[in-house]
Amino acid sequence: MRRTTTLRTGLSALLLLGTWATAAALPAAADTPPRSTGAPASSALLSAMQRDLGLTRDEAEARLAAEKTATAVAHKARNAAGSAYGGSWYDAGSGKLAVAVTRAAHADAVRATGATVRLVRFSARQLDAAKKGIDALSAPAGVGSWHVDPKANKVVVDVVAAHRDDNDVRAFLSRAREAGPVTVRETPAAPHTFAAGTVGGDPYYTGNVRCSIGFSVHGGFVTAGHCGSPSAAVYGWDRSYIGNFQGSSFPGNDYAWVNVGSGWWTVPVVLGWGTVPDQLVRGSAEAPVGASVCRSGSTTHWHCGTVLAKNETVNYSQGAVHQMTKTSVCAEPGDSGGSFISGDQAQGVTSGGWGNCGSGGETWHQPVNEILNRYGLRLHTA
């Protein structure tokens, strides 16, 4: 915000969707263990998890602690599995990280890290190769997305239920199965981005589009690429000039960054919207599939769910976007660009999805570490 505005108001405009995170100032690798702060989760955050995940307060606290441990174990477990690694996910039933391996000889070494083990047929490398083959295909509108599912040990292709029997969908699935092990699931609607026309609130604007600011970086903030093209001017909630899109990519990717100036500044804090306290940002260690995750946006504010899949290709009407993370969190128009958080770690910026926060849905985010590495940015941390 402009320097004459209060700090709280500045956070409202510059950190519209942020949430809470932890790690070092430099971008963390996807499998870097988080730095523990020892700080308990806020009561408001626990309440959001109780509401959206159907947990008691004690269950929410226990889950956050178990997920932090699972995230720390992931890097060691992957190294222990070596070439037999078939992927991993957080198992809410056991409260541990589950790791798939293709050879029993590696099981004991993986268990020694604190993870549980499941024997599977295909390695992560084989599944990633199959997905890459599907990425090369041209998908029809009836195909929503596809990703590697380590738990199923297959590539899952999501097809819009109403288009399951379309000839072009059937032809796509036939070609996809030639690439490797594939299973098909139905989704009730096609994915779309969550940008919105100009309305009131605490947004940022570019042209006639309203989106949400994600995480502060040194010199600006990161957000969704579909919200603006390179050099496009960006204006704050009060319509004062903030800066310009310095880099933007969509489709293919869905990320961007905006420089901050003209009396505005960045701080390592994100606004809680009165639902949770304003939160310090501390880093960006990536949570495993199955972990809880929360999202903050300028339209629907705070909502929580779980990580459903990683490295998913999403087939928007504008074109495919790669390396996305799918979640069970809802979102609505205007939430695009906002922050995803798991535990106390930044995860990514909101891209799109289907459904709404009245009836539910699914939402994808572009991982924040990919954005930081792509543009050589440093997350602004406390």
Residues designated as active site: 226, 254, 336
Please give the Cα distance from 69 to 309 (Å, whole number). 19
Please give the Cα distance from 22 to 151 (Å, whole number). 27
Please give the Cα distance from 39 to 136 (Å, whole number). 45
Please give the Cα distance from 253 to 245 (Å, whole number). 15
User: How far, in Å, are 157, 254, 294 from residue 148 at the CA level?
Assistant: 9, 20, 22
- Token pair, residue 200, equals 């009131």
Residue with tokens 């800066």: 243
DSSP strand E in 237-344: where? Answer: 241-249, 255-259, 269-270, 279-280, 292-297, 301-316, 319-327, 339-342
User: In degrees rounded to 5, what are phi and psi of residue 79?
Assistant: -65, -40
Dihedral sign from CA coordinates of 346, 348, 353, 356: positive
**SS3 helix, strand, coil % of the chain, rounded to 5?**
25, 35, 40
Q: 3-state DSSP call for residue 165? A: coil
What is the helix (H) or strand (E) element at residue 16, kind and residue range? none
Alpha helices in the chain (DSSP H): 7-14, 43-53, 57-81, 107-111, 124-135, 167-179, 368-375
Contacts of 133 (CB under 8 A, 6+ apart): 176, 178, 179, 180
